[in-house]
């Protein structure tokens, strides 16, 4: 285990791996883990330059999946359920692609599996953007600005993150290399190629917020159709589903959620 990689392992029962998205940490799953750790072994990892982790792997889904799989091996984890949010869903897809028999069940939330537009990919690959990320690294993290940015992706009744939830994001943004890591990950999203045929045999369900402003609902529908997945839209919710609707994740884990195929 790398000393710069922060992991979480608590609870008893069938194992579940939680993989968070960009700018976040494993803390986004706190409310879910609190409800299921009595009956499940809950595993999570802070991605590179996120939460309490340093730069332990390249910010690319396949490389991250390989590193996470080795950690699971070392932890004695065999067959495992996956829950991935946003960029973390791409890591989950790569884990399944590499070992579909091991990861036979997965929930993807707000996952940009259909890539980005060619125009946006061109912008993200511009050398000036990397220089800009290095410049932003030197600026102080202003909590109220981070709060305002994140709140625009919430569409639920509260409309704002709690102080404890916000601190999870601030912790990531204070990490050296966080902005560069997020840029590298976003560039990787632009290059990502979905391989539905490599996921045959795995049950993959897709959960989306109706009001997601970061990865729009139409992308969720396209992803679910491409994967032949069960699909559910959560009305009036946005992008940050682990925090907006932890009960929906718990319901899926406990087998109480019946997701229908997309388009039906």
Looking up residue 127, the CATH number of its domain turns out to be: 3.40.50.1820
Enter the pTM of the model.
0.91
Q: How many domains does the chain have?
A: 1
DSSP 251: H
Let me know if residue 201 belongs to a domain: yes
pLDDT of residue 122: 64
pLDDT for the residue 18: 98
Residue 166 covered by a domain? yes
- In whole angstroms, give the CA distance from residue 128 to residue 263: 41
Q: Residue 158: pLDDT above 90?
A: no
Q: Which residues contact 172 (CB under 8 A, 6 or more apart)?
A: 23, 24, 25, 49, 50, 51, 178
- Mean of the per-residue pLDDT values of the chain: 89
pLDDT at 1: 42
Which one has a higher pLDDT value, 5 or 217?
Answer: 217
Structural domain harbouring 42: 7-261
| Residue 121 banded pLDDT, cuts 50, 70, 90 | low
pLDDT tier at 2, thresholds 50, 70, 90: low
Tens digit of each residue's pLDDT (9 = 90 or more) over 24-68? 999 999 999 999 999 999 999 999 999 999 998 899 999 999 999
Q: Quick check: is 2 in a domain?
A: no
pLDDT band (50, 70, 90) for residue 4: confident
* Six token digits for residue 250: 């718990």
pLDDT band at 76 (very low <50, low <70, confident <90, very high): very high
What's the mean pLDDT in 100-127? 80
Buried b (16+ CB within 10 A) or exposed e, 101-118: ebbbbbbbbbbbbbebee
pLDDT of residue 84: 98
Instruction: Count Cβ neighbours within 10 Å for each residue of 13-42 and write b for 16 or more, e otherwise.
Output: eebbbbbbbbbbbbbbbbbbbebbeeebbb
């Amino acid at each position: 285990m790398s000393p710069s990689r922060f992991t979480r392992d608590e609870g008893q029962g069938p194992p579940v791996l939680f993989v968070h998205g960009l700018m976040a940490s494993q803390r986004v799953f706190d409310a879910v883990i609190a409800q299921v750790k009595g009956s499940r072994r809950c595993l999570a990892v802070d991605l590179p330059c996120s939460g309490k982790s340093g730069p332990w792997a390249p910010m690319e889904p396949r490389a991250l999946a390989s590193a996470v799989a080795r950690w699971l091996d070392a932890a004695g984890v065999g067959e495992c359920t996956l829950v991935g949010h946003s960029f973390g869903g791409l890591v989950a897809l790569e884990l399944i692609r590499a070992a579909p028999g091991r990861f036979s069940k997965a929930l993807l939330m707000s996952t940009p599996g259909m890539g980005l537009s060619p125009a946006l990919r061109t912008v993200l690959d511009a050398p000036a953007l990397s220089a800009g990320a290095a410049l932003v690294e030197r600026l102080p993290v202003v909590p109220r600005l981070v709060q305002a940015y994140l709140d625009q992706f919430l569409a639920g009744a509260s409309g704002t993150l709690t102080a404890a939830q916000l601190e999870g994001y601030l912790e990531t943004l204070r990490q050296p290399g966080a902005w560069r890591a997020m840029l590298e990950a976003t560039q990787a999203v632009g290059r990502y190629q979905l391989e539905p045929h490599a996921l045959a045999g795995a049950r993959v369900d897709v959960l989306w917020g109706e009001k997601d402003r970061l990865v729009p609902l139409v992308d969720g529908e396209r992803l679910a159709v491409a994967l032949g997945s069960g699909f559910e839209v959560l009305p009036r919710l946005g992008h940050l589903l682990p925090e907006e609707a932890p009960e929906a994740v718990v319901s899926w884990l406990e087998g109480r959620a019946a997701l229908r195929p997309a388009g039906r």
